[in-house]
Amino acid sequence: MSTSLILQYALIALLVAASLWTALRKLAPTMTARWQAAAAAALLRPQRGAFAQRLGRFVQPKGATGHCGDGCGTCGTCGPADAPADARADASSREQPVTFHPRRK
């Protein structure tokens, strides 16, 4: 195997891993935040070197600050201040009957 072929495969593997990570961050943010926290905890051990600890602080996910701008959603007050009245209406009142019409000839 030539060096250029190995580099090509390594680049493709890196791009696939990056796209997989991006998709996981969009589809399963809680799971990936747990993975990031576990990796950061392993790197932030006191017996690790300075570079590993710097990398651990970089990898560590952002924590919820308690402000409405961080999007944690735990308190349920991050939504709009005044929801429209029809959004609070019962689902049955928004139902509409389906009407079937005969085919035209």
Q: Tally the domains of the chain.
A: 1
Residue 28 lies in a domain: yes
Q: Which of 19-23, 40-44, 48-52, 62-66 has the lowest mean pLDDT?
A: 62-66
Q: C-alpha angle with apex 39: 23 to 76, nearest 5 degrees? A: 60
Residue 33 lies in a domain: yes
Residue 84 lies in a domain: no
Which residue bears the tokens 């993975």? 35
What is the pLDDT averaged over residues 48-69?
80
SS (H, E, C) the chain: CCHHHHHHHHHHHHHHHHHHHHHHHHHCHHHHHHHHHHHHHHHCCCCCCHHHHHHHHHHCCCCCCCCCCCCCCCCCCCCCCCCCHHHHCCHHHHCCCCCCCCCCC
Nearest partner of 61 among 39, 78, 46, 44, judged by Cα? 39
Q: How confident is the model at residue 71 (pLDDT cuts 50, 70, 90)?
A: low
Residue 101 lies in a domain: no
Residue 35 sits in which domain range?
1-44
Residue 51 lies in a domain: no
What global pTM score does this model have? 0.51
Residue 15 lies in a domain: yes
